[in-house]
Amino acid sequence: MNKKTLILIVSIWVVLTIANYYFVPYFIVALEWLALSLILFIWTIGQIVKLIKERKNLTRQRIASVFVISTLFLLTFFRQPVNQIIENADWYIFYNKRTEVVEQVKNGELKPNVSWNGWVCELPYEFPVISNGGNDIGISMNDSTNEVTVTFWVFRNFFSAPSTHFVYTNRPEDIKYYNDLIERNPDDNWKIEENWYRTFHE
């Protein structure tokens, strides 16, 4: 494979990975992950076999091909580090937008507005995606104290399966809940900054 082909392959993989993170439903992502991992694994084996056959007359292109395809396989199969990088970048890129949404909730501009759930608010825009799975957010509010909890989905699972969230809260009972969650499972839950949490729960 020449340099342009390798760049194209990497570019397609990057676009696909980002699309999966933001837009593709979980069950499709799972199937796609299996298929893509298998394809890249077979491709990697093929490249290694060619590398061995050509070992007496190796070219930079062959070495680059083996390196790129095998790296893409590993990054696909062990996808959590890649997802964590995207998640961290997403937090910083859309921090101001999420903060703006929180202020709109506090001001009463955004409220639960779907018929099928009493706490979900569908944001009035599709882009930017600040809450995965449809740009819905969860709102819990104490009208008398103006204390709120606003949930943004980072990874939205189905039914009662755990999902990943960015959560803003200034409600004492929710702060206690999330601190307890962090204490029980600090690997998947942590405080990002004052009033902001990254959580993984139902």
pLDDT in tens, 145-198: 889 999 999 987 765 668 899 999 999 999 999 999 999 999 999 999 999 999
Query: Do 124 and 147 have their domain in common?
Result: yes
Domain closes at, from 78, 111, 133: 78
Q: At what angle do helices 80-93 and 3-22 cross, to 10 degrees?
A: 70
Report how many domains make up the chain: 2
Query: Do 74 and 96 have their domain in common?
Result: no
Please state the separation of Cα 179 from the chain's center in Å: 22
pLDDT at 28 over 70: yes
pLDDT of residue 159: 59
pLDDT in tens, 71-103: 999 999 999 999 999 999 999 999 999 999 999
Residue 47 neighbours by CB distance under 10 Å? 20
- Which residue segment(s) compose the domain that 71 sits in? 3-78
Evaluate whether residue 84 is within a structural domain: no
Query: Do 145 and 52 have their domain in common?
Result: no
pLDDT of residue 162: 80
Element (H, E) at 102: helix 95-106
User: Measured between alpha carbons, how far is residue 83 from residues 11, 36, 80, 88 in Å?
Assistant: 17, 16, 5, 9
pLDDT of residue 143: 80
pLDDT of residue 158: 66
Domain closes at, from 45, 78, 111: 78
Element (H, E) at 151: strand 147-155
pLDDT at 202 over 80: no
pLDDT of residue 197: 98
